[in-house]
Structure 1
Amino acid sequence: MKTYLYLLFFFISFLGFSQETTTWIKTEGTIQKIDKKRRGRTYATVTFSTQEGEEASAYIELFGLPVIGNFKSVGDVIDIHYDKNNIAIAKSNSGKFISQYGMIILIVLGVIFSAKKIIDVRKLQQS
């Protein structure tokens, strides 16, 4: 019975993720300014053209490696995604895998590392 309860909680955790309803439009933007923040985060002011031909700018986070930092510089052209309804909301394409699947990866790792402890407890209960 406890096994079914654990499985139920495991699958319910995946239902907690909401679907993204924002319509993202992909375009190219040019980096105008780079700001380095604490803890290795790097942000950039990017200008780009919308589908309607308007010039817009946004403040996005650039993906970088710890200690090494970011590989982009001012004047580089990068792919970005902006919200169709609010062009001030934009994100870079780099680091997208981590932002989309990071929580799922952490949950799976938690289950894997907890499995040994659960098996040990079940063995103690049976003996």
Structure 2
Amino acid sequence: MKSTSTNFNTHLFTGEAAGQIINYRVLKMQDSIFIYIGKKDEEVLNGLAVGLLQPYNEKEAISTCILENKESQDLAQKLTVRLKKPTFISCNLNVDRLIAPIIEKHLIKEINEKPEFF
């Protein structure tokens, strides 16, 4: 039997926001990425959104919810523009205006420091 290489890479990192430890699980695929965000000891899949680049403008993205979650949709749109690829986001936290920027900061820092995982 012939073996083949996979186009999937995984990465896990953690961050802290509002006294909670947050897991960030990244699944890098050939032409897209999936990022799961959730409490360390409560990993559930409650929200899912996808962001796609506009066909004629890579500086803008559209996003839609697959499983209802506004936080996932907002992050999918922002990260799609930054990563220049379809981005699936599952943000499974109660996100308020104070926590949202911290989550985004964790992601941007990791993307900048370890781009090979994104």
TM-score by length of 1: 0.29
Structure with the higher fraction of residues in strand conformation: 2
Larger Rg: 1
Higher relative contact order (CA 8 A, sep 6+): 2
Richer in helix (by share) = 1
